[in-house]
Amino acid sequence: MIRDFLDKRAKRRRCDRTWLDVTFVALPATIAAVLAVSDQLTRWLSYFPLMTLVIHAALPILALIATTVIIVAKTARAASAGFQHGGNDIEMEYRFCTAARQTAKLAFFPMLAIASTSLWTAMPNRLRGSTLVTGYVCNEKGTALNGAFVQLLDRYDCPVTATCASDDRGFFVVEIAKWKTRPAALRINALNCTEGVYQLSSASAGRSCPGEPVEGAQMGESLVWVTKCR
């Protein structure tokens, strides 16, 4: 693969129509990348879980494979007229022309990063070893939200846990669905509080709500969400 990047394993092939050859590689790779990282498309496809898996995992991988093929594919070069030195030697030529291969080289590493990230994101919780999520939900003053209904969602806004209620410390524990993708957000519905969705990245780590005493709190750190609830 490295020698193919350096054009050391075969003869280069000249392009007949450079802009068409570049477009042939660049356009599909760009479309695959945009579809894979589009949050809006994710929301549109949230009702079709199989399609989200195809778009966000399979499509970038297929684009990466196609890019690799364009870089490394070779064909036997037509024998030139005249005497041959070493009749058993076969001269190889790259199947795709130089402009197409150079474009594929530029697209390879971005597509590798997108494919790796997309595959990791789409990996089911069972393969990650994730089984439980624990956390605290707190009001805007930092005290516990007692009896708040919470549910974890994936990046497609689909539930990955059952709904459960927090206790008098605001603490909750939920089991994650084994064959769904990893949690990305928390949906909270509490008394006298508008339902809200909070990203997991917005949570801090702690052993209780900020306004509650730590003594007697759940052992070990959990995720802590301070909501806009009063």
pLDDT for the residue numbered 131:
79
State residue 207 phi and psi, 5-degree precision.
-110, 5
Mean pLDDT of the chain: 79
**46 vs 204, which has greater pLDDT?**
204
Structural domains of the chain sorted by starting position, each given as residue range(s) with its CATH number in brackets: 2-122 (no CATH), 127-226 (2.60.40)
pLDDT in tens, 200-218: 888 888 888 888 887 654 5
**45 vs 200, which has greater pLDDT?**
200
* Spatial distance between the Cα atoms of 177 and 194, rounded to a whole number of angstroms: 26
- Whether 52 shows a pLDDT value over 70: the answer reads no
* Spatial distance between the Cα atoms of 57 and 102, rounded to a whole number of angstroms: 25
- As to burial, measured by CB atoms within 10 angstroms (0-12 exposed, 13-18 middle, 19+ buried), residue 50 is exposed
- Whether 151 shows a pLDDT value over 80: the answer reads yes
- pTM as predicted: 0.59
- Whether 74 shows a pLDDT value over 60: the answer reads yes
* Spatial distance between the Cα atoms of 165 and 22, rounded to a whole number of angstroms: 56
What are 209-214's contacts with CB under 8 Å, separation 24+? 209/136, 209/137, 209/138, 209/142, 209/143, 209/144, 209/169, 209/170, 210/138, 210/142, 211/138, 211/141, 211/142, 211/143, 211/144, 212/138, 212/142, 212/143, 212/144, 212/169, 212/170
